[in-house]
Amino acid sequence: MADDTPVEHVFKLMKEYWRMMDPHEPHLVISVAGGAKNFHLDGRRKERFNTGLISAAETTNAWIITGGCNFGSMKIVGEAIRERQFLLSTSERMTHAYRCIGVTKWGYIDDKEALVNVNVKEPYTARYKVNPVFKLGQPGSLNPNHTHFFLVDDGSVGSFRGIQDFKSQLEHRISAPPFGSEPGLGIPVVLLLLEGGLDALYQVLVTVRHRIPVVVCAGTGRAADILAFAYNCFTKNSE
């Protein structure tokens, strides 16, 4: 989709075609941002993160939103989903218990031509091969453990930057009440920050401007630790 696609069209896709509200509507959306490239969690920290994320998703029937690629925090979230994923039966079909949505730049995806249906009159099942190796400065593969993807095209190629505005606007409208000038879905959204760099700091900025709360995971490094340190200094000076 284009980066200026109306949110109303996105909601129609989610509700009428993907049937994201079946069999149960979510009570929370967990958006994960932060470390890409070289970020990873090991051992007990990864196990604690996986358990906490899935427990939160299970108790609230939450949707999880990431950048959708197969590296960094996005891959970690995908692996957590894979460990606990199972299928639910509805009146019409089988569906995933945990919905994990990747919001990804079309111009950044590796082997994106395999995702294109050249004959829109015929059904098409994409045969997409995930490249497990990530190289700095090269396109990235989609993470195979995400259940849905928004592939957003802003005309640029080869860079992951620029997706934050679309992602934040989508999350803002998801959290907005289902009435008013910009009706939303009325589902609370929270941003979870793991490590990260300048892009992560910008994601936090636009998220807070939309009045969406941010949970900063101190101890994961870089942007998360900087924000945690700044917050602690501010609160101590305010006492």
Going from N- to C-terminal start, the domains of the chain cover 7-238
Alpha carbons 18 and 225: distance in angstroms, whole number: 37
Neighbours of 27 (CB within 10 A): 11
Residues sharing a CB contact under 8 Å with residue 102, sequence separation 6 or more, in sequence order? 65, 66, 67, 68, 69, 74, 142, 143, 146, 148, 149, 150
Pairing of strands 189-194, 148-152: unpaired
Domain 7-238 CATH class label: alpha beta
Q: Is the pLDDT of residue 239 over 80?
A: no
What span, in angstroms and rounded, lies between the C-alpha atoms of 1 and 115? 13
Average pLDDT of span 14-36: 93
The 10s digit of each residue's pLDDT in 174-216 is: 999 998 888 999 999 999 999 999 989 999 999 999 999 999 9
**pTM listed for this prediction:** 0.94
Q: Around 209, how many Cα atoms within 13 Å sit in the side-chain half-sphere?
A: 10
Residue 92 has pLDDT above 90, yes or no: no
The answer to whether residue 89 scores a pLDDT higher than 90 is no
- pLDDT interval class at 146 (50, 70, 90): very high
Query: Quick one: what percent of the chain has pLDDT higher than 90?
Result: 75
Whether the CB-CB separation of 222 and 195 falls below 8 Å is answered with: yes
Residue 123 has pLDDT above 90, yes or no: no
The token pair that represents 7 in the structure block: 């949110």
Q: What is the pLDDT of residues 28-86, one digit of tens each?
A: 999 999 988 778 888 888 999 999 999 999 999 999 999 999 999 999 999 999 999 99
